[in-house]
Chains A and B, each alone.
Chain A
Amino acid sequence: MLNHDSPTTVRPRWAMIIDLNACTGCSACAVACRAENNIAITGPGEAAYNGTIQWMRIERTWKGRGRHFQVENRPVNCQQCDDAPCEPVCPVQATYTNAEGVCVQVYNRCVGTRYCGLNCPYQARFFNWFDYTWPAPMEVQLNPDVSLRTRGIMEKCSFCIQRINAAERQAEREKRPLRVDETQPACAQSCPAQALLFGDIDQPGGRFSANWRDTGLETLLPEVGTQPKVRYARRVAPPRSVLAAVPNSPGAEVEA
């Protein structure tokens, strides 16, 4: 990473757009994230006691009743805030925003005050309450590019920084700039509905940067002023006439 830091190099600024119209709530992103990032499986007991670790999770909210009943599936990961409230409160500076705008967690430095977890308005940070083990044979599928975490430290979504680093090293070896869509996190790669778009905000002329500037996009809790680098495309209900024209469409039942 550091050898990238020449003044002439323009560093990318990584961001994500989540399209709530496309998301079906299938949780493939959450599963892919768990596999890619060696996220511990804490078991059913812990799951019943809020003890799970999910860097990417689907938050389901319900609205309305009967014919007006509506479900919203919202994938929530670390919102990669430009002005991240979790960072200044850490007494040992175990978390900071790196040169590419990713809020990173330094596992080796973390002492586990858990202050960052409280100050994250999205509750995107997770604590290792125990030393977790992987039931056989799952330990053989651990990703060698991602360090395992011990008890007593915080962890969170890193935008799959190991993939970003690998792509950047590859580009550097080949002495060329990063290609469009050369890297993407496991969640975006695995989304069957392509609801998760990942890219560089500053890439000139890029498809992602054009989409990013769409004023229709919203952020979670904009009033907190965290300036997240994850934006959501709000779910828009299609007009009734359209729904009526589609036989047996799930939308016809959902949208009244």
Chain B
Amino acid sequence: MSAAISHPAPAVVDEKNAAAALLRPMRYTSLAYRRMTLLLLMVIGWGMFCFIYQAMVGLGVTGLRRPVFWGFFVTDFVFWIGISHAGTLISAILRLTNATWRYPVTRAAEAITVFALMIGGLFPIIHLGRPWLFYWLAPYPSERLIWPNFRSPLEWDFFAISTYLTASSLYLFLPLLPDLALARDRSRGWRHRLYRFLAMSWQGTQIQWRRLELAIQLMAAVVIGIAVSVHTIVSWDFAMSIVPSWHSTIFGPYFVAGAIFSGIAALIVIMAILRRVYHLEDYLQPKHFSNLGKLLLTMTLLWGYFVTAEMITTWYGNLPDEMGTFWSKVSGHYAGLFWVMVLCNFIIPFPLLAIRRLRTIRGTVIASSTILVGMWLERFLIVVPGAANQRLSFNNWYGYYPHWTEISLSLATLCAMALLYMLFTKLFPIISIWELGAAKHNAPVSE
């Protein structure tokens, strides 16, 4: 199907230089990297302390109170699951549409998916009143024949996220195989043993290539379906409830679009960091940022469309139950955050991405950074104002503010994501060597 697939020979043209350059981050570790790791570990350690403290003392250490039962943790959960759509979905779509410029981008994206899912999956546990009993959500055989409640959207989440994590891990692993074999052949000691184990005796025979191609294509198709369903199910945590502003049919596609939106933004930011830190200027070129910027522009417009559709139908319908939430966002207690969100998600990124002259590496990175902030705010503004405005208006409560455990845990999980990603770049080539080699053989990546 794709050019790379029909010519399975790995790394043909300047294999030596390319492979050496792309394996270099795995061989040399700078002092700055070690310092960064230490710093991240310290923040993660603080986060773990906060989690244990919160579990021991009770969730009262957070700012949550009735009726705002969900706050920062659920916001973080939806945000990270959204970020996870960077990888698999974007890389799978690019692979299926045979976009040849994708080669240096896909692995970085797929790794985001796996790690963001791991981080996102932590939050439903962190936010539990009794987190030590989280395994009760799993359908394990119990001698008392007690099963979880399969009618609950939270139970669907459990299955959706575990399926997505399995599929996206496979989808990360499969295209990694030839590169693992390459790393195996060029390493000694424990690394050699690790790669020999992971490469599963990959020899690069014709049969192996054919099967790998088939498996990757198949997983690309499967993973798109799973990714769309996962964020739809996450949105159904809200849409299936009867909380006035949450109970909305638009939430499924709205959340999926927002997920891809924030996912591309995360990918652009991470690519820019990789390019700078590991000197990958030859591989991550302005063209890649520009192309991803175009995708991001599409998603900016789509996001604007969804928000408009959501807000204008609420406003025109003028149902008293929903107007409380509406006005609290547009001109009330949450108006500041709401308009910052519009600024970050639309007003700043739109010109940066729409005007070709501005769609540079710097421009796309600025746009992506504001989008990441804006999309986090968007999730917050769905969760909290919806819970704060009740049908029985005497239950309304605008008193929710995050307390230190919530802020610490949000930061610590961000650091955990960064650390996982950094470790990944030290263990595995962050740019697919064999695909790039094959690409150069067939169609040069330069413009």
Q: How far is the CB of A7 from chain B (nearest CB, A)?
A: 23
CB distance from B125 to the nearest CB of A (A): 10
Chain B residue, CB-CB nearest to A52: B66
**Residue contact A127 to B129, C-beta cutoff 8 Å:** yes
Q: What's the minimum C-beta distance from B303 to chain A, rounded to whole angstroms?
A: 25
Q: How far is the CA of A129 from the CA of B237 in the complex (A)?
A: 22
Does any Cβ of B come within 8 Å of A101's Cβ?
no
Bound together, the chains give a CA A49 to CA B65 distance in angstroms of 7
Q: Is A92 an interface residue (CB 8 A)?
A: yes
- Contacts A112-B128, A114-B129, A128-B129 given: A151-B152 contact, CB under 8 Å? no
Cβ–Cβ contact A151 & B59, under 8 A: yes
Q: Which of A37-52 contact B (CB under 8 A)?
A: 46, 49-51
Binary CB contact string for chain A from 105 to 130 against chain B (1 if under 8 A, 0 otherwise): 00001111111011101110111111
Contact A92 B137 (CB under 8 A): yes
State which of B133, B149, B240 has its C-beta within 8 Å of the C-beta of A90. B149
CB distance from A93 to the nearest CB of B (A): 4
Q: Is the CB of B152 within 8 A of A89?
A: yes
Do the beta carbons of A126 and B66 come within 8 Å of each other? yes
Asked whether B333 is an interface residue with its Cβ less than 8 Å from the other chain, the reply is no
Are B241 and A118 closer than 8 Å at their CB atoms? yes
By beta carbon, the residue of chain B nearest A53 is: B66
Classify chain A's interface size: 35 or more
Task: Select from chain B the residue with minimum beta-carbon distance to A93.
Answer: B149
> Which residues of chain A from 184 to 210 have a CB within 8 Å of any chain B CB?
none
Q: Are A51 and B65 in contact (CB under 8 A)?
A: yes
The secondary structure that dominates the A interface is loop
From 74 to 115 in chain A, residues with beta carbon under 8 angstroms from any chain B beta carbon are: 76, 85, 88-93, 109-115
CB distance from B45 to the nearest CB of A (A): 24
Contact count A vs B, C-beta below 8 Å: 132
CB-defined contacts of A109 to chain B, threshold 8 Å: 136, 146
Return the chain A residue nearest B60 by Cβ.
Answer: A129
> Which residues of the other chain, B, contact A154 by a CB distance below 8 angstroms?
129
Q: Name the residue on B nearest A153 (C-beta).
A: B129
Complex: how many Å from CA A128 to CA B243? 22
Select one of A51, A113, A126 contacting B154, CB under 8 A. A113
A41 and B158 alpha carbons, distance in the complex (Å): 35
Q: Which of A9-62 contact B (CB under 8 A)?
A: 46, 49-51, 59, 61
Are the C-beta atoms of A89 and B154 separated by less than 8 Å?
yes
Instruction: Please tell me which one of the listed residues A49, A61, A128 contacts residue B58 in the complex, with CB atoms under 8 A apart.
Output: A128
Contact B242 A130 (CB under 8 A): no
For B129, the chain A residues whose CB sits under 8 A away are 110-114, 127-128, 151-154
Which residues from chain A sit less than 8 Å from chain B, CB to CB? 46, 49-51, 59, 61, 76, 85, 88-93, 109-115, 117-119, 121-123, 125-131, 150-154, 220-221, 224
Residues of B within 8 A of A (CB): 57-60, 64-67, 69-70, 124, 127-130, 133-134, 136-137, 146-149, 151-155, 158, 237, 240-243, 387, 390-392, 394-395, 397, 399
